[in-house]
Amino acid sequence: LPEDTPNIFSSRAALSGYLQIVEKLYMDDQLDVAVRAAQDAFETTGWPAGGWTEFYNRLVCEKEARDFSAVYKLDPTLTIEISRDAPSDMREGLESAALDARQKVTSLLEMELKIPCIVSVFLPDAPLEFISGSYGYAMRKNSLSKICLPWECAQSHERALRTLTHEFAHVACYELLEGKDEPSWLAEGLALYLCGDVSDEKCRQLVQSDPKFARLLSMSHLQTALSSSDLRKDDPELVSAAYKLAGSLVAWWVGKKGLHSLRDAMVMLARGWNTTLATYVAAEMSPHAIERGWRDYILGPNPHQPLA
C-alpha cells in the first residue's frame, strides 16, 4: 500500500465525525458553532466534494442572516429575523404577512401549530444558488420549524403573504405528519394550492407544449421530478412544471373531496399507513383513480372555453 493510505482513511473518519457534529448543530439551529465546526473540518481534512458544498452554503447564509438581523418575537410560537437595515415598513409588512399566512393555513387545515417557528429573511446579497424557484424553504429542525425567505420575497406584503403561505403549508405538513415522510407532490401541491398559485389553464398549455411535460401527468413522475436535486440543476423547467402540475393535482383532489380529506390522509400517513391506504380511506378514492380523474380533466376539453 502507498505510504499515505492510513492518512486517507483517518481523515475520512475524522471528516464524517465532523459532518455529524455540524449537522447536529445545524439541526439545533446553533448556526455560529456549526459554521466554526465546519471550518475546523476543512482545516483538518480539506474541502469535501459533493452535496456538502450546498449544505455549507445554506448554513453560512442562515448564519449571516442571523448575525445581521434583529429578532422580533410576535407571540410564543412565532419569531421573525430580519436585517437591522431593513426599512421599518418592510419589517411591519413581513410581520403582518407572517401572522396572516399562519392564520390562513391553520384555519383552512383546521389545526393549530404547536412547535415554535422562526421566519428568517436572508440578506439581500446572499448567494442563494442552492434554492430553486421563487419561494424560500421551510424545514423542521430539532425543536423548532424554520422558514427561510429570499430578501425579494419580503419586499411587499403581498409577495411575503404568498410565499409565507406556501412555507407555512410545509410547516403544517411537518406537524401533521409527526416526522413521517409524505409524497413530495402532495406537500408541494398543497403549498401551491393554499397560496393560490394554481392555474389549470397554464398546466394545459404546458402539457400540450412538450411531451416531456405531458409525462408529468402521473404521481410517480411528479414525485421523481420534485425529489431529484440533479434534475433541479439539469432541467429546472421540468421541475418548475412539476410544481405547477402538483398544485393542479391537489386542487383537483380538494375540488372533489374537500381539503379535510387531504388533511386526513396526512394524519393517516403519520400513523404509519402507506400512501395508497391513507388516500383510499381519507378520499374514498385510490391514488390511481385520483390520478386518472385529474389527467382526464387536464387533457380533456376546457369546460370554460367558449364554443366556437
Binding residues for Zn ion (CB under 5 A): 188, 191
Query: Are the CB atoms for 82 and 91 separated by under 8 Å?
Result: yes
Whose Cβ is closer to Zn ion: residue 175's or residue 188's? 188
Least Å distance between CB 87 and Zn ion?
Answer: 27
Query: What is the bridge-based pairing of β-strands 78-83 and 69-75?
Result: antiparallel
Closest distance between Zn ion and the C-beta of residue 184, in Å?
9
Q: How far is the CB of 164 from Zn ion (least distance, A)?
A: 12
CB closer to Zn ion out of 82 and 191: 191
CA 150 vs. chain centroid, Å, equals 13
- To the nearest whole angstrom, how small is the minimum distance from the Cβ of residue 165 to Zn ion? 11
Q: In what order do the strands lie in the sheet with 145-149?
A: 69-75, 78-83, 117-121, 145-149, 137-140
- Among residues 193, 178, 187, 184, the alpha carbon closest in space to that of 267 is found at 178
Which CB sits closer to Zn ion, 34 or 198? 198
Contact 100, 87 (CB under 8 A): no
Nearest-5° Cα angle at 42, 38 to 43:
115
Q: Name the closest residue to Zn ion (Cβ).
A: 191
All cell numbers assigned to 157: 406584503
Can you point out the beta strands (E) in the chain? 69-75, 78-83, 117-121, 137-140, 145-149
In the complex, least distance from residue 146 CB atom to Zn ion, rounded to whole angstroms: 14
**Closer CB to Zn ion, residue 83 or residue 120?**
120
- Min CB(162)–Zn ion separation in Å: 12
Looking at the Cβ atoms of 39 and 223, the one nearer to Zn ion is 223
83 vs 165 by CB, closer to Zn ion: 165
In one letter, which amino acid is 144? L
| Distance set, CA 62 to CA 18, 114, 148, 163, 191 (Å) | 19, 23, 8, 18, 22
